[in-house]
């Protein structure tokens, strides 16, 4: 058993820590016609958000940002497996692209629970599409201010 004690204004709900998102079966003809798969939504749930710091005197937490990261080609997340010619794209509900390793726009902290909603889809990368399974690991980090 191990762990770390940190001060953070919000907790991450356990259901949001490790998520597996199945994009299903996507025909090559669909990808060729539309350039992308249908979007799948996923959420990160923050719970028990507090504005007042318990460690820093007279300090109020105001905002946070989310950074997604993983294997990438610059703007998109690359996939492993037999499928070729595709990459993963993540956007928030305001259509802001989650560029690997770059912080997204800051979000104001609201006391209580917060639900951060995102959309994920497979898009073509301009090369020939090859059928096959694909997978990748994308991590996220939340930084508070």
The reported pTM is 0.91
Domain ranges for the chain: 11-16+35-144
Q: Which tokens belong to 46? A: 């923050």
- Where are any strands of DSSP class E within the chain? 11-12, 40-49, 63-70, 77-78, 80-81, 86-92, 107-108, 112-124, 134-135, 138-144
pLDDT one-digit tens code per residue, 118-134: 999 999 999 999 999 99
Mean pLDDT over the full length of the chain: 95
The CATH number of 11-16+35-144, from 2.60.40.1090, 3.40.50.880, 3.80.10.10, 3.40.50.360, is 2.60.40.1090
């Amino acid at each position: 058993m191990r762990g770390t004690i940190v001060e953070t204004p919000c907790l991450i709900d356990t259901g949001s820590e490790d998520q597996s998102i199945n994009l299903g079966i996507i025909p090559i003809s669909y990808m060729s016609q539309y350039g992308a798969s249908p979007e799948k939504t996923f959420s990160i749930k923050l719970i028990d958000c507090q504005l007042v710091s318990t460690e820093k005197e007279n300090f109020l937490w105001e905002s946070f940002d989310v950074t997604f990261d993983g294997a990438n080609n610059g703007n998109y997340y690359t996939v492993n497996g037999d499928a070729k010619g595709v990459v993963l794209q993540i956007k928030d509900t305001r259509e802001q692209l989650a560029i690997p390793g770059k912080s997204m726009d800051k979000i104001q902290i609201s006391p209580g629970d917060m639900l951060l909603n995102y959309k994920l889809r497979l898009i073509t990368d301009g090369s020939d599409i090859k059928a096959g399974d694909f997978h990748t690991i994308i991590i996220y980090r939340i930084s508070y201010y």
